[in-house]
């Protein structure tokens, strides 16, 4: 599945924005994280697949 880059950009937030919501990644990683709620809303197929992977 190819995800729309603009949707990913809209869903992603810098780590600093996630500190208060519990979605912070290590500062040294430089990574962007996407909150679970936005993944579920924007990409329900991905969320369902992710949940299936975790239960196996």
pLDDT at position 14:
53
Note whether 38 and 12 are within 8 A (CB): no
- CA separation for the pair 53, 21 (Å, rounded): 24
pLDDT at position 19:
43
Instruction: Return averaged pLDDT per consecutive 10 residues of the chain, 56 residues in all.
Output: 58 50 50 65 70 66
pLDDT at position 47:
63
How many domains does the chain divide into? 1
pLDDT at position 41:
74
- CA separation for the pair 11, 27 (Å, rounded): 19
Provide the domain limits for residue 47: 5-55
pTM: 0.23
């Amino acid at each position: 599945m190819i995800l729309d880059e603009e949707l990913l950009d809209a869903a992603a937030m810098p780590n600093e924005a996630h500190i208060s919501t519990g979605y912070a990644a290590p500062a040294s990683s430089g990574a962007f994280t996407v909150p679970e709620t936005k993944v579920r809303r924007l990409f329900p197929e991905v969320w369902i697949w992710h949940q299936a992977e975790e239960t196996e």
